[in-house]
Amino acid sequence: MAEPSKGLLRAQEIYQDRSQRALELREQGKKIMGYLCIYPVLEMMTALDIVPYRIFGDMREPITRADAYMPSVNCPFLRSCLDLGLKEKYDFLDGIVTSHICDVGSSLSGIWNYTVRTPFSHHIDTPHTLHETSLKQERGLLEDYRKALEDFTGHKMTTENLKKAIRVHNEQRALVRELYELKKPDPPLISGVETIRVIKAIQSIPVDEGNELLRDVISEVKERGDGPQTKSARLLLWGSILDDTALPEMIEGLDANVVMDDTCVGSRPYFNDVEVTGDVIDGLARHYLMDIKCPRTFRTRDYNDVRKDYMKDLEVRFSYLSDYARDWKTNGVILESVRYCDTHGYDVPGLRDYLDNLGIPSIYLEHDYTEGALAPLRTRVQGFLEIIS
Amino acid sequence: MTTEAKPRALNRLQSMYALRAEVDKMYEGGVEASEEGRPVAWVMLEGWSNAILNAMGVNTVFPENYSSLCAAQGVATPFLERSEAEGYPTHLCGYARTCVGYSSRMVELDGKIPPEAPAGGMPKPILLVASGEVCDARFKWFQSLGRFFDAPVWTIESPYPGLRERLTEGAHERNVNFLINELKAFVAFLEKLLGKKMDWDALEHTGGGTNEINRWRWEINELRKARPGPMNTRDFWSAVTAALFRGAANPDVITKGFERMYDEVKERVNNGIAGINRPEKYRLSFEGLPPWHSLGFLEQLAERGWNFVIESAYRPPRPITIDLSKYSDPMERYVRRRYRRLEDSLEEDYGPEEAGLIIDEILCDGVSRRMGLRHIRDYQVDGVVLHVLLTCRSTSAGLNLLQHRLLDVLKVPSLVIEGDIIDVSAFNPAEALRNAETFEETMDHYRKVRKELGMPW
Amino acid sequence: MVLIYFAGIDLGSTMTKVVIVDEDDQTKASVVYHTGAEHRRLANRVMEESLAKANLSIDDISFVMATGYGRINVPFADRQITELSCHARGVASFFPHVRLAIDIGGQDAKGLKTRDGKLLDFVMSDKCAAGTGRFLEVISAALGLKIEDLGDISLRSTQKVSVSSTCTVFAQQEVVNHLSEGVPLEDVIAGLHDAIAGRSARMVNRLKVEPDVVFTGGVAKNVGVVKALEENLGCPVLVPEEPLLSGAIGAALLGKEHVLKALARGETIQTGKRRLEEATFFK
Amino acid sequence: MAYFLGIDIGSATSKGIITEDGSTVSRHLLPSGVNYRLAAQEMVEGLLAKSGVAQEDIACTVATGQGSANVEIADQEVADIRCCARGIFSIFPSVRTVIDVQGQSTQVLRLNGEGQVANFVVSEKCASGSGRFLDIIANVLQIKLEDIGPLSLESKNPVTFTTGCAVFGESEAVSRVSEGVAREDIIAGVHQALAEKISSLVGKVGLEERCAITGGGGLNTGLIKWIERKLGIELLVPPEPQLVTALGAAIMAEEACK
Ligand SMILES: Nc1ncnc2c1ncn2[C@@H]1O[C@H](COP(=O)(O)OP(=O)(O)O)[C@@H](O)[C@H]1O
Ligand SMILES: Nc1ncnc2c1ncn2[C@@H]1O[C@H](COP(=O)(O)OP(=O)(O)O)[C@@H](O)[C@H]1O
Ligand code: SF4
Ligand code: SF4
Ligand code: SF4
């Protein structure tokens, strides 16, 4: 038998056939838990030896069954997820955890329960604000979630196991950040396309295996000679779900490298650690409510400010992006969103104001989550590259 | 052209006009307050903040409603286009886009109300009260208005749990406390903003008034079960805004208005008069928000004998007396008056037996097939119109599932009409009418099916 | 002194345009051809024809810049650049004070914010033929009219009718229905022009309309759309004498500037293989 | 003697049928052309001439289709979906799902045991989801309509279009041909895309066995195969699929007289 592949090759294999490992583990009697978006707390799954498996859509597969259950004016990514569910592509899941990511995301959990009927399901109603009360609420919600998982597995989640899980997940976060460090040089050592493959791969396998994969990738990337070439543009990619390499492939086929991103199949879930607090759940609640920066959360400079200062407000909401732009030396930002995504859509004008103010050029691209939709975007990206070069 | 051979197909309620006028007064009141230097806030409909703001002497106006007013008067399009020019994607909520366009126009005019604004316009706000309830649009939208106003935004968070999670032990009390603390934080903020203390006694009054109004609205809806249906949804939409978007208006005035409406509807029931001036061939329910720009379309459906006897949105809650004597904290009283345990409201609505079935469904599947269909049965509805909105996710996302459940559980068919609350270009009336004709056959079919199954209508 | 020439080729979805300029930016030759299925591949012929017109051979051309929908696959080009940048540059050569350029071609509509020939920002229409020159082509073909005549016909209109179908194919049907109901031709055509202009105006509003506004692309040859665009934007709109050529001219000029810049930096100019071969599209 | 007339003025083709006692006496098809009113007149004249029936003997006329308003002699206008249901029911009483592929739109309906429409859904208003897309491509590829279906089945490698627009699809098809792509691969790509859209519509109303195809699309044997592959069932094809709606209209006319 051939040597099992490692590093980037392995990442690509998993990217192309995501469920393969999950199916193997299921054979061995492990429970596989699907989750949508990045708000369902993974540490609690890992603590109970459940394998977290992120649910994605497939922009290469036409949506044919989901339209019966969800109007086409809704997020095509979620419609695609549902479509795959209805086509029995997620039948190997033992359960599914959803959270209040957005309206359609919440609705989907009910629709999924009605139509796909995965045996176990749980919904976490993550609040939108960072008010003190919200933190308390999130904490309570996580207690419920913990109980639900315990009932599901029939095992207690000990503090010890939970702490251990937090440590492995933090390790994963650190490894991802280390990987992103390798994107800082010019040319970057790993391309945007490869990055998505790696991230999607680690969101498809148990966390410890993901860490091993990350380590392999990091050492391979550091040493290889056939990495990306220097290009005139170093881009930061911001946006809603991007679970396919098609868009970065198109961009990197032009005179640009995607060197940094703020998307949830990218840096978003990994750039802050979970603090191991005395009461472990406190730290988890704080992380998942406050640390993940995503337009679904209402963030403002100071909730008790009686006067709004627009620019300062934008600063608080988006300054991490200017840090990214500075540290990864990007000279342009591509804002990307699937059509009908409200949470990202409302942020676009403000975010562009902010970037304009800093003199960072940006462009907004909207697509309907099909592969074919990307071709017409090519001229736009190229035009943008001509503007910034 | 005054040659009206045939009376109009819709039979409008006279009492509706007075109520409708109250909404204009609310906006006039806002402008007046602003001119006198009193504070005006823009708020979202969610039922929590308005009474608190009014108790603090803040006038409230409602951009959601204001946008539908613009649409109804046919002046929304320039605002929509303005919002597009500001770089807002066109799929965003029509209310929000109208409001963005309006705000941008205001900035252009140095904070003055645009002269083309209907009903006197909405004055510049000192505060924007967003809401985490119902949909994402309603907090993202106000947040993004920061481009136009230096008014702070406060988002009122409210729990929006999954059904099964709502039944989890301890969840209800946690949610109640969440609300109480959340609203108290809001009050603390308001006190800081306005430099004065909350008037808790006033809250008892402003908060309680809604219950009276809702009680009359409930009674009116009870009357609408009659055959023929005495009140068409068109009148419901015209009048309901007075209850929902009451602003600082005296609740007693609105209560009186609905009381009069009750009398008029009652009179109709006694005399067998319908909400349409044509034989009631089909009884329908309208699910989703209405096409504010084309309410006249209901006239054309009434012409075919379609009587919309009930609607899904903004149905008043069943009036119940809640024993609040245990609770002395005014905020707790305020919250408990409205935020109920799911089990309790189900039991009141469906009776213990069916409520039990629903709860079992929820515990087992995480969803219920039966829940939320009560009005279809009670009003003996032949068919349902599902208004799928181009720009509103939260009211549209579940409609297709509803369509399946209605057929599965009650054998009631639905007609999907695509359109929008504000954007008239999303609606094709000719096509909708064509499909309406075919849908009559579908309704006939399911009448037979229900009969065969021994269902009561 | 050696004369130096630069060529720009704009391989559009509908029209292929070639412009050759000399070192003083003077146009030596320009050729416009229907792209058509064959000509799409035979861009080389269009190039040859313009060389003949200018009395030059391909070796006299210092640099060939390709732009337009089919730019990527022009085998004799030295470099490709998007039509966005080229239009911005080209338009400025006619109207130096242009701030907003609107280009409506066969495949899409674009709005370009520019200053001194530089592209600052842009918007582009979506993947639907409604709102493009194709829309007018399809309908004029169905009515047996010449595309050149639409403009004059529409100017006679006193009361334009609105066309409610957005889909080009169905609008064609609707137009036919209007006509069979006796609506005057000019009113229907004026309605179509208004539909196109309205779409573009809403789109370019995102760039904040500032004079001078210049309108280019094949559709700018249509006086009816020009008028409708002025109405929809509420400001005057300038049209160059040959609105089809701005992309090709811009390409030629950008080619020249590219060469000059490289020379100034003491670099050698990278040129392609210069094969006067057929172009291909779907790669 | 009582005759009944059903006239379907479609977006591209007008169809008419005269019945007597439930059986067809005469049928007629002609292009709708640019003037529906004219087409309607010619249709009536043509039908009467073919059948030898006198206009006075027509007891009732029902008009349907896009241009139904232009049939002056019509006693009633009825929505085409209802007529389609009636028509197919008279041919295949056991059919419960119908896919009606017309020029301007595609509709899927469910029938009850009495031939009434129990549920239905109509495609979006974009030509790329209708039979018209096939016509456009067939036209530019210079293939006769009746040949596109069989030809599409010869393809091993259906082309995926880079555009979702029927109008741009036309020019794309042309360019692809000139670049050497086989015509069957192009036409197969269009069929496949249409079949996908149709199967999504079928999903919306739910598929119940015994499913038929009607409308001009029912003449396209290739399209039928593509849909069958997508849905995994066999479709029933009436002998004259394009005339089903007109037949239904005639039946409606008879019912109206009873
Ligand atoms: N003489 C003319 N009069 C009016 N319109 C014209 C004329 N010539 C071309 N057009 C319009 O211009 C469009 C082509 O414009 P063009 O800018 O060449 O597009 P592309 O760059 O995509 O080839 C055609 O679709 C047609 O509508
Ligand atoms: N002989 C044929 N072979 C294959 N397809 C055909 C044939 N004739 C017509 N069609 C298809 O049928 C469609 C027209 O269907 P029809 O029901 O007559 O539409 P309409 O009622 O809108 O005119 C055309 O778009 C074409 O795709
Ligand atoms: S892309 Fe937007 S709408 Fe879709 S799941 Fe994410 S947040 Fe929700
Ligand atoms: S529920 Fe719909 S209509 Fe209401 S504010 Fe939200 S998006 Fe807009
Ligand atoms: S609506 Fe018509 S013009 Fe637009 S994409 Fe569809 S087929 Fe093309």
Domain match, D199 and D162 both: yes
Please count the structural domains in chain D: 2
CA of A288 to the centre of ligand 3 (A): 17
Give me the pLDDT at residue D257, please: 80
* Length of chain C in terms of residues written: 283
Nearest of A197, A194, A253, A251 to residue A227 by alpha carbon: A194
Residues within 6 Å of ligand 2 by CB: D 10-13, 65, 102-104, 131-132, 134-135, 145-146, 149, 215-217, 219-220, 242
The CA distance from D251 to the nearest CA of chain A, in Å, is 32
Report in angstroms the alpha-carbon separations of B139 from A347, B44, D27, D202: 11, 9, 62, 37
pLDDT number for residue C280: 60
Indicate yes or no: CB of B88 within 8 angstroms of CB of A121.
Answer: no
State pLDDT tens for residues C12-71.
888 899 999 998 999 999 999 887 766 556 788 889 999 999 999 888 899 999 999 888
| CA C263 – ligand 3 centroid, Å | 50
Q: How many Å lie between the centroid of ligand 4 and the Cα of residue B137? A: 6
pLDDT at residue number A55: 98
Share the mean pLDDT of chain B.
92
Residue C39's pLDDT is: 55
| B31 pLDDT higher than 70 | yes
Residue C91 lies in a domain: no
Q: Within this chain, do residues D108 and D230 fall inside the same structural domain, yes or no?
A: yes
Q: How much distance in Å is there from the Cα of D102 to the middle of ligand 2? A: 6
Coil, helix or strand at residue A34: strand
d(CA A385, CA A379): 10
**Same domain for D247 and D173:** no
CB-CB contact of D27 with D17 (8 Å): yes
| CATH number, domain containing residue D137 | 3.30.420.40
User: Which residue blocks in B151-228 are alpha helix, DSSP H?
Assistant: 163-166, 171-194, 200-223
pLDDT, mean of residues C146-154: 95
Q: What is the 3-state secondary structure (H, E, C) of D195-207?
A: HHHHHHHHHHHCC
Q: Is the CB of D196 less than 8 angstroms away from the CB of A64? A: yes
Same domain, D121 and D208: yes
Domain with residue C271: its CATH number is: 3.30.420.40
Nearest chain A CA: its distance from D101 CA (Å): 18
Q: How far apart are CA B282 and CA C158, in angstroms?
A: 44
Token pair listed for B278: 């044509």
Residue C54 covered by a domain: yes
Q: What pLDDT is attached to residue C165?
A: 83
Question: Same structural domain for residues D191 and D112?
Answer: yes
> D121 and B438: CB-CB below 8 Å?
no
- pLDDT by residue (tens digit) across B258-315? 999 999 999 999 999 999 999 999 999 999 999 999 999 999 999 999 999 999 999 8
Q: For residue C1, is pLDDT > 80? A: no
Q: Does B441 touch chain D (CB under 8 A)?
A: yes
The gap from C-alpha A261 to its chain's centroid, in whole angstroms, comes to 11
Q: Which atom of ligand 4 is nearest to the CA of A342?
A: 7
Q: Which residue has the least CA distance to atom 8 on ligand 5? A: D165
Residues in chain D closer than 8 A to C179 (CB atoms): 34
pLDDT by residue (tens digit) across A307-362? 889 999 999 999 999 999 999 999 999 999 999 999 999 999 999 999 999 999 99
Q: C58 and C174 in one domain?
A: no
The span from the CA of C226 to the CA of C222, in Å, is 6
Q: How many CB atoms lie within 10 A of CB A262?
A: 20
Tell me which residue in C37, C138, C180 faces D35 most closely, judged by beta carbons. C180
Structure tokens at B212: 């009276």
Chain D: residues touching A (Cβ < 8 Å): 160-164, 196, 199-200, 203-204, 206, 230
Domain that holds residue D123: 93-237
What residue ranges define each of the domains in chain B, with the CATH number in brackets? Answer: 15-199 (3.40.50.11890)
- pLDDT, average across residues A356-371: 93
Is C219 in the same domain as C101?
A: yes
Q: Are both C22 and C73 inside the same structural domain?
A: yes
Min Cα separation C122/chain A (Å): 8
Residue D72 and residue D99 in one domain: no
Q: One-letter amino acid identity for A203? A: Q
Distance CA C248, CA C254 (A): 10
Instruction: Identify the DSSP state of A371.
Output: G
pLDDT above 70: residue A2 = no
Q: Which of the four pLDDT bands, split at 50, 70 and 90, describes residue C281?
A: low
Q: In what order do the strands lie in the sheet with A120-124?
A: A50-54, A31-35, A95-99, A120-124
Task: Provide the edge-to-edge strand list for the sheet that holds B127-131.
Answer: B59-61, B40-43, B127-131, B153-156
Whether residues B87 and C206 touch (CB distance < 8 A) is answered with: yes
Per the structure, the complete domain to which residue C11 belongs is given by 5-86+245-275
D162 and D56 in a common domain: no
Residue C36 lies in a domain: yes
Report the pLDDT averaged over residues A190-197: 97
Subunits in contact with chain D (3 or more CB pairs closer than 8 Å): A, B, C
Assess contact for D97 and D208: CB atoms under 8 A: yes
pLDDT (0 to 100) of residue A321:
96
In 3-state terms, what secondary structure has residue D19? strand
% of chain A residues with pLDDT over 90: 89
pLDDT reading at C282 higher than 80:
no
Q: Which residue of C has its CA nearest to B424?
A: C164
The pLDDT assigned to C69 comes to 84
| Confidence (pTM) | 0.92
Give B100-142 pLDDT, tens digit per residue: 999 999 999 999 999 999 999 999 999 999 998 888 899 999 9
Question: Up-side HSE of residue A303: CA atoms within 13 Å toward CB?
Answer: 21
Ligand 5 atom nearest C129 alpha carbon? 3
D200 neighbourhood in chain A, CB within 8 Å: 62-65, 67-68
Ligand 4 site-directed mutation target among B100, B138, B312, most atoms within 8 Å of CB: B138
Separation between Cα atoms, residue D19 and residue D257, nearest integer Å: 13
| C226 and C111 assigned to the same domain | yes
Asked if the Cβ–Cβ distance from B445 to D118 is below 8 Å, we say yes
Nearest-CA residue for atom 7 of ligand 3: A102
- Indicate if D48 and D132 belong to the same structural domain: no
In a domain, D126, yes or no: yes
Q: Is residue C92 part of a domain?
A: no
In a shared domain, residues D197 and D128:
yes
The shortest CB-CB distance from B400 to any of A69, A129, A144 is to A69
CA of A37 to the centre of ligand 3 (A): 9
C31 lies in the same domain as C81: yes
**Residue B147: φ, ψ to 5°:** -65, -20
Distance from CA of B112 to the nearest CA of D (A): 42
pLDDT confidence of B152, banded at 50, 70, 90? very high
Of A279-288, B381-390, C15-24, C264-273, the poorest mean pLDDT is in: C264-273
Distance from CA of D201 to the nearest CA of A (A): 8
Between C73 and A142, the more confident residue is A142
Task: Answer whether residue B214 shows pLDDT above 50.
Answer: yes
Q: Label residue A29 exposed, middle or buried (CB < 10 Å: 0-12, 13-18, 19+).
A: exposed
Instruction: Express each pLDDT in B342-373 by its tens digit.
Output: 999 999 888 999 999 999 999 998 899 999 89
User: Is there a contact between D204 and A375 if contact means CB atoms under 8 Å apart?
Assistant: no
Please tell me whether residues D54 and D164 are part of one structural domain. Answer: no
Would you state the pLDDT for residue B1?
42
CA distance B125 to B133: 21
Closest CA to B207 of B416, B18, B48, B34: B48
pLDDT above 50 for B210: yes
Does residue D134 sit in the same domain as residue D29?
A: no
Q: What is the Å distance from ligand 4's center to B135 Cα? A: 6
D 79-118 residues with CB < 8 A to C: 104
Tell me: do C215 and C107 sit in the same domain. yes
Is C82 close to A387, i.e. CB distance below 8 A?
A: no
- Between the CA of B392 and the centroid of ligand 4 the distance, in Å, is 5
Task: Name the amino acid, one letter, at B205.
Answer: H
β-pairing, A332-338 with A256-262? unpaired
Do C111 and C185 sit in the same domain of this protein?
A: yes
Q: Is the peptide bond before C212 cis (omega within 30 degrees of 0)?
A: yes
Q: What is the pLDDT of residues A57-71, one digit of tens each?
A: 999 998 989 989 999
Is a pLDDT exceeding 80 seen at residue B5? no
Chain center to CA of B240: 7
* Contact at CB, B435 and D79, closer than 8 angstroms: yes
Cα(first)–Cα(last) distance of chain A, in Å?
50
- Residue B185 at interface with chain A, using a CB cutoff of 8 Å: yes
Q: Where are the alpha helices (DSSP H) in C157-243?
A: 168-180, 185-204, 223-233
Residue D85 belongs to some domain of the structure = no
**Rounded Cα–Cα distance for residues D230 and D212 (Å):** 15
**Chain segment D172-230, per-residue pLDDT in tens:** 888 888 778 999 999 999 999 999 999 999 988 888 889 999 999 999 999 999 999 99
Please indicate whether, in this complex, the C-beta atoms of B435 and D78 are within 8 angstroms of each other: no
Extract the residue ranges of chain D whose pLDDT is less than 70.
1
Nearest CA in chain D to C13: D171
Euclidean distance between CA atoms A378 and A384, whole angstroms: 10
C81 and C146 housed in the same domain: no
The answer to whether B350 and B252 have CB atoms below 8 angstroms apart is no
Q: How many domains does chain C have?
A: 2
The answer to the question of residue C113 being in a domain is yes
Q: Which two tokens stand for residue D12?
A: 């591209």
* Domain A28-389: which CATH number of 3.90.1150.10, 3.10.20.600, 3.40.50.970, 3.40.50.11900: 3.40.50.11900
Q: Percent of chain A at pLDDT above 70?
A: 99
**Test the C interface: residue of D106, D142, D171 with most C CBs within 10 Å:** D171
Would you place residue C283 in the very low, low, confident or very high pLDDT band (cuts 50, 70, 90)? Answer: very low
Quote the minimal CA–CA distance from B56 to chain D in Å: 50
CB C249 within 8 A of CB C28: no
Compute how many other C-beta atoms are within 10 angstroms of the C-beta atom of residue B187. Answer: 20
Mean pLDDT of chain C: 89
Interface check D79 vs B, CB under 8 A: yes
D55: in domain? yes
Q: Which pLDDT band, with edges at 50, 70 and 90, does B2 fall under? A: very low
Q: What is the pLDDT of residue C75?
A: 83
